[in-house]
Structure 1
Amino acid sequence: MEFHISFLDHKVTKSSPSPALCCVEAVPQDEQNSHITAFNSGDGSTNSDNESSSSKNVRDVHISMRLMEDFLDLAKENTDKDLETCGILGAFLENGTLYMTTLIIPKQESASNSCQATNEEEVFTILNERSLYPVGWIHTHPSQSCFMSSVDLHTQYSYQAMIPEAFAIVMAPNDTSRSCGLFRLTEPDGMNILRDCPEKGFHPHKEPDNGNLVYDHCSNVYKNANLRIYYCSALLNISS
């Protein structure tokens, strides 16, 4: 998956979002349900767990129960055409935990193995106006398996270099073994490899000499049934 958005050197403008990028709010069906679940080893399912990820030196991130399902619904038309869809995840920080509350789906150009945002200014305007951290990104692999390509890894590096907790969600609805994965570059090995890699496009990356992985499943992300989520999407034809 090829997804370009220049987080490291982007200068935010004061322009207003395009009317085509509209915002709607979705509320979980059971707002009183305080149950929080943690993702397990990366197959998209969950285990009950109300404790923090003590094995990681990163803050916990809470996401909406509905995020992945709703994103697939928004991306369905593209998926049916074998086109990728990408989105940016915005979160606010409270008491040491990041709460992901906004999904931004920008105007984009897509192919079967690539997706390029075309309105970065609108994305950053929304993040700035809501005081949100770009805590991660989500994209589909409409006909591929659930993995991180070399270009995905470079995109993830740009997020993770800014925010250590940043993660990538890959949705692969046609992968019968694992339809959803949450990934981060390993630290320091994966981050060092991507930092020092000058290559563009799809290319191989050398594995760390110590046998560790370049990227792995993240264990600091939790599904929170109480979280409201806002969708700011160029794919929605809904008045704000």
Structure 2
Amino acid sequence: MQPSLCKVTHSYPSPVISCIHKDPRGSEVSRIISPSSENRHPQSIVDESTSSNDHKDVHISTQLLDGFLDLAMDNTSRDLETCGVLGAFLKEGTYYVTTLIIPKQDSTSSSCQAVNEEEIFAIQNEQSLFPVGWIHTHPSQSCFMSSVDLHTQYSYQVMVPEAVAIVMAPTDTSRSYGFFRLSDPEGMNILKECKETGFHIHKEPANGTSIYEDCSSIYLNPNLRLEICDLRE
């Protein structure tokens, strides 16, 4: 099943709940495991929720990462970042990411800023989607969250606590992608109080924890339809 491309005016041909289907080949959902875990590979699960906190589970189409990298390929070859917004619907306490919005954007080798954001909001409002995070590339850097990335993540996470930042770092041979959130409440409080802009240094939490961390409760789901709305053209 190939991802489909849509425009702002695209209307889905069926109710949103039909975005979930059963793969006849019996593909399993895989939970993302922190790289610090002894098991560094996605863990297969069947109808199981294993969240260790109060966050809702977030299911992401298995096609999303590669689909995004394909769309970012031209920018990546020119050492320019690319960003996208994750749109999800909520069903029975679980977020299902079924829409990837690639907005018009201004990019450099170390930053990416969406423009014409009203186009993003139009798609989210039309389809009743929750903004459950964002994805962006580090075309020539390692897989981490910069100070600018942390502020962007705060803007999502303050609205939806489950919001995730996905970093794609194709040239990082040790870790090519990561799923991150600000630590809560430590990291969230630091970003809430920070008034600086641009690249700068944030203080670390007083209790010795990290300002951001690998996500739990993230699942790669082969049974999700994926709509990609590329608004750059």
Could you say which TM-score interval applies, normalised by the shorter chain? 0.7 to 0.9
Residue aligning to 1:13: none
> Contact between 1:37 and 1:46, CA under 8 Å: does it hold in 2?
yes
Residue aligning to 1:85: 82
Q: TM-score, normalised by structure 1?
A: 0.84
Q: Structure 1: where are the runs of 5+ without partners?
A: 1-18
Q: Alignment partner for residue 116 of structure 1, among 109, 113, 116?
A: 113
Query: Once the 2 structures are TM-superposed, how far is the Cα of residue 31 of structure 1 from its aligned partner?
Result: 2.8
Whole-Å separation in 1 of the counterparts to 2:88 and 2:202:
30
Residue aligning to 1:35: 28
SS of the counterpart of 1:98?
Answer: strand
Paired residue type of 1:203: H
Q: Structure 2: where are the runs of 5+ without partners?
A: 1-5, 13-18
Identity between Structure 1 and Structure 2 (%): 60
Indicate yes or no: 2:227 matched with 1:230: yes
Indicate yes or no: 2:42 matched with 1:46: yes
Runs of 4+ off more than 2 Å: 19-25, 30-34, 42-45
Q: Alignment partner for residue 72 of structure 1, among 69, 74, 78?
A: 69
Q: TM-score, normalised by structure 2?
A: 0.87
Report matched runs for 1:1-240 at 5 Å: 31-32=23-24, 33-42=26-35, 45-50=41-46, 51-235=48-232
> Contact between 2:51 and 2:216, CA under 8 Å: does it hold in 1?
no
Query: Once the 2 structures are TM-superposed, how far is the Cα of residue 65 of structure 1 from its aligned partner?
Result: 0.6
- Over aligned residues, Cα RMSD in angstroms? 2.2
Query: Once the 2 structures are TM-superposed, how far is the Cα of residue 235 of structure 1 from its aligned partner?
Result: 4.3
Query: Once the 2 structures are TM-superposed, how far is the Cα of residue 199 of structure 1 from its aligned partner?
Result: 0.8
| Structure 1 residues 131-157: Cα deviation after superposition (integer angstroms, max 9, x where no partner) | 000001000000000000001001100
Whole-Å separation in 2 of the counterparts to 1:115 and 1:122:
17
SS of the counterpart of 1:139?
Answer: strand
Whole-Å separation in 2 of the counterparts to 1:190 and 1:77:
34
